[in-house]
Amino acid sequence: MPTVLPCGKISRSKIIIYELEVYTYNSSSKRYPVEIDTIEIGRYSSLEKAGNEMKEWIEPCPPNQDGDYEVIHSFSIQEHGIDVPIFGSSYDERIYNDRGKLYGIEKHFGEPFFGTAPEDCRFKKGDVVEFRMYNELEIGIVTRLPLTPDRVSKINARYQRLYDEGIRLKDLDGNSFLLFLDQSDNSYIIHHGRNDMHEAVLSEACLFRPKFPISAETRKRLNAKYKYENGIFASFDTVKSGYKYGLELNNYMLGSFKDPHVIIFDCYFHLVVSLESYKILKGNPGKFDMAEINKIIKLIKVNEEDLRSGFRKMVEKCENEKDRSI
What's the pLDDT band for 303 if we cut at 50, 70, 90?
A: confident
CA-CA-CA-CA torsion sign (179, 180, 186, 192): positive
Does any domain span residue 27? yes
- Shared-domain flag, residues 285 and 209: no
- Shared-domain flag, residues 58 and 101: yes
- Shared-domain flag, residues 96 and 172: no
- Shared-domain flag, residues 191 and 132: yes
For the segment 173-193, the average pLDDT, to the nearest whole number, is 88
pLDDT exceeds cutoff 90 at 276? no
Q: State the pLDDT at residue 257.
A: 74
- Shared-domain flag, residues 120 and 106: no
- Shared-domain flag, residues 64 and 86: yes
What's the pLDDT band for 1 if we cut at 50, 70, 90?
A: very low
Please tell me the total count of domains within the chain: 3
Strands 246-248, 198-202: pairing kind: unpaired
Q: Which residues contact 161 (CB under 8 A, 6 or more apart)?
A: none
- Shared-domain flag, residues 103 and 121: no
Using DSSP's 3-state secondary structure scheme, residue 206 falls into helix
- Shared-domain flag, residues 117 and 210: yes
- Shared-domain flag, residues 118 and 192: yes
Domain boundary among 166, 184, 214: 214
- Shared-domain flag, residues 124 and 198: yes
Note the pLDDT tens digit of each residue in 234-258.
Answer: 443 333 333 344 555 556 566 677 7
* 72-81, 173-182, 311-320: least confident range: 311-320
pTM above 0.75, yes or no: no
- Shared-domain flag, residues 96 and 184: no
Does any domain span residue 5? no
